[in-house]
Chains A and B, each alone.
Chain A
Amino acid sequence: MASIELRNIRKSFGAVNVIKGVDLEVRKGEFMVFVGPSGCGKSTLLRLISGLEDITSGEMLFDGKVVNALTPSKRGIAMVFQSYALYPHMTVYENMAFGLKLEKGNSKEAIRERVEKAADMLQIRQYLDRLPKQLSGGQRQRVAIGRAITRDPKVFLFDEPLSNLDAALRVATRIEIAKLHEGMHDVTMIYVTHDQVEAMTLADRICVLRDGLVEQVGTPMELYEKPDSIFVAGFIGSPKMNFLTGEKAEAFKCATLGVRGEHMLVKPDGIWEGEVIHTENLGADTYVYLEMGQEEPIVVRLEGAMQHPSGSKLRVSPMEDRVHRFDEAGKPIR
């Protein structure tokens, strides 16, 4: 259990500034997700919190105490890596017990108890005698999570733990991590991902990063409903939010008008007309791409399987109360 506070944290690698002054508070027991495009500094920020990288300037506080100079193990953290980072020459049991064995004052029985408890939690007890190379990717990642649990950490860090798994396993492991958070509700978790779906489904709060700076921090619904910038509006939500400029935006008294695909209605008296250029049928929904003279085609998300042949014309209207208006600087007009 720990609250984490970052005060004007900066990190440079040589002349390259990766983190350019981040202020952030992560509350006790919170599940915080760092999300952003590649190269935004989210993994670096996580490594700064873990202590694997030195902080160039600024202060890092755990429970109000500065930890800038503390080694990772002294910060009371555990970390799950994208590549699993299991010790290849040790069995699953040894992997999970390694850190505990080297700590002073742990009896053999106590270690076994802790490892088996974690193994039961993740249903990997039957693999305890195997080597990592004998396990599948999903099993390996569960071992890595198990290794982190046995450390009984105050802070749990995840660095893109699902990116090496296939789609089905990713969903299953995502649910497992969510359950883990429920079971360990006094442990602070920080999770890095570039996948906004993972961010939306797992987070208590999301921190959107862009170019080494915090763009917005808030609950998933806050980010979805009240994005603080065009960048956040475009990054959160799938399919991506449509942005309209020119006359269509002027009609709404703004420079850029943002409308999500699910907030568009197809009706005969719709205010915009577009030509269908492509349809993606996902079963439960249908994405219709309309050419409307904008930079990118406009996506309309319709429920159920719909047939709209390419080349046909379609009239649509945005839901008046769900549009997002942005000024020239990309800031919302509310």
Chain B
Amino acid sequence: MATDAMAPVGTAATPKIRSELMLQRVRAARWFLVPMMIALAIVAGWPLTRSIWFSFTDATLNDLYGAEWVGFGNYLRWQVLESGTVRYRGVLADPDWWNAVWNTVRFAFWSVLWETVLGMIVALVLNAEFRGRGIVRAAILIPWAIPTIVSARMWGWMLNDQFGIINDLGMKLGLLSAPVAWTASADTAMTAVLIVDIWKTTPFMALLILAGLQMIPKDIYEAADIDGVHPVKQFFRITLPLVRPALMVAIIFRVLDALRIFDLIYVLTPNSRSTKTMSVLAQENLFQFNNFAEGSTQSTLLFLLIAIFTILYIWIGKVNFEGGDR
């Protein structure tokens, strides 16, 4: 498809004569795309269309197919009472929804920020030459490789207020005066979730940044040494600008992941209002509270939010998905 759009740019002046080989390549490319398009349509296109459609109906789990069209009612509807006051209903007027939006945004911001900073540090260390680098590179991926459910459970026990090792250590070292119910307390639940997510996803970030770092030729650092550029300046003036394309792609991957966070929060801090995110809320409405239409509406809004964010990010950040800018 891309070839179709690109080809005329260079050959705009010449009459459109395509060689046999070029036509053959385009045909082959289309055939190779077909399996992926079909798979995408089945696993992404169809469910997405269905949930968007359900968000405009009064569907419940008991009666999915008998659902009736209600327009934008699930998003926002209002009722003028006899007293003259207007009462708003629907997801957009629901404080629980806005609490979830705020939780999600807060979570995404802090987790991605810390993962970027820590991931950059880890990547810089791994980019240096030292004995056993290969083993360390593999070892650092372990948190990323453990299934989220397992690591959430593991951290749940470690953070437990009565038996957890974190409270035990904190008490013995004199850092805590009393055990803290990290995951249960409304004040600390978000921090607990952030710690586990940062622990889990920093390796992913580090690996993506490391790939970008390895694209930077070594000799320009030697030129900088000759120029007498201090190592800290080398980082900010050479490394950071050159790793930026890879960094931007890594950040967007992580933000998209963070905005739809579900599993970690669902397992680590179930039913905590201070950590409940959009995905968790939508899942509850869809499958636990039998508000299928409302859950669909929330899913659709989440999808829109992520889509708008992605478009803005790519547009404003001038992200280049084709790799380096050299």
Contact = CB atoms under 8 A, between A and B. Distances in A.
A and B bind: yes
Given A102-B233, A133-B326, A87 B226 contact: no
A81 B237 CA distance: 20
A85 B223 contact: yes
B229 A98 contact: yes
Q: Which of B223, B225, B233, B237 has the most CB of A within 10 A?
A: B223
Contacts, number: 63
A39 to B, nearest CB: 19
A334 interface: no
Interface residues of A, number: 24
Interface in B201-240: 217, 219-220, 222-230, 233, 237-238
A78 B220 CA distance: 13
Nearest to B324: A88
Contact of B223 (A51, A81, A103): A81
A71 B219 contact: no
A164 to B, nearest CB: 12
Interface in A41-77: 50-52, 71-74, 77
Contacts of A78: 226
Nearest to A87: B220
A87 B223 contact: yes
B279 to A, nearest CB: 38
A133 B227 CA distance: 21
Interface in A87-127: 87-89, 98-99, 102-103
A296 B228 CA distance: 51
Q: Is the interface of B mostly helix, strand, loop or mixed?
A: helix
A217 interface: no
A86 B326 CA distance: 12
Given A87-B238, A133-B326, A81 B228 contact: no
B220 to A, nearest CB: 5
Nearest to A94: B237
Contacts of A99: 226-229
B325 interface: yes
A52 B227 contact: no
A71 B230 CA distance: 11
Given A79-B223, A102-B233, A85 B228 contact: no
Given A89-B325, A102-B233, A52 B220 contact: no
Contacts of A89: 238, 241-242, 325
Contacts of B241: 89
B166 to A, nearest CB: 44
A18 B87 CA distance: 85
B222 A151 contact: no
Nearest to B241: A89
B326 A88 contact: yes
B242 A77 contact: no
Interface of B: 217, 219-220, 222-230, 233, 237-238, 241-242, 325-326
Q: Which 6 A-B pairs have the closest CB atoms?
A: A73-B228, A99-B227, A85-B219, A85-B223, A89-B241, A88-B326
23 contacts: A50-B226, A51-B225, A52-B226, A72-B225, A72-B228, A74-B228, A78-B226, A79-B222, A79-B226, A81-B219, A83-B217, A85-B219, A87-B220, A87-B224, A88-B242, A88-B325, A88-B326, A89-B241, A98-B224, A99-B227, A99-B228, A99-B229, A102-B228
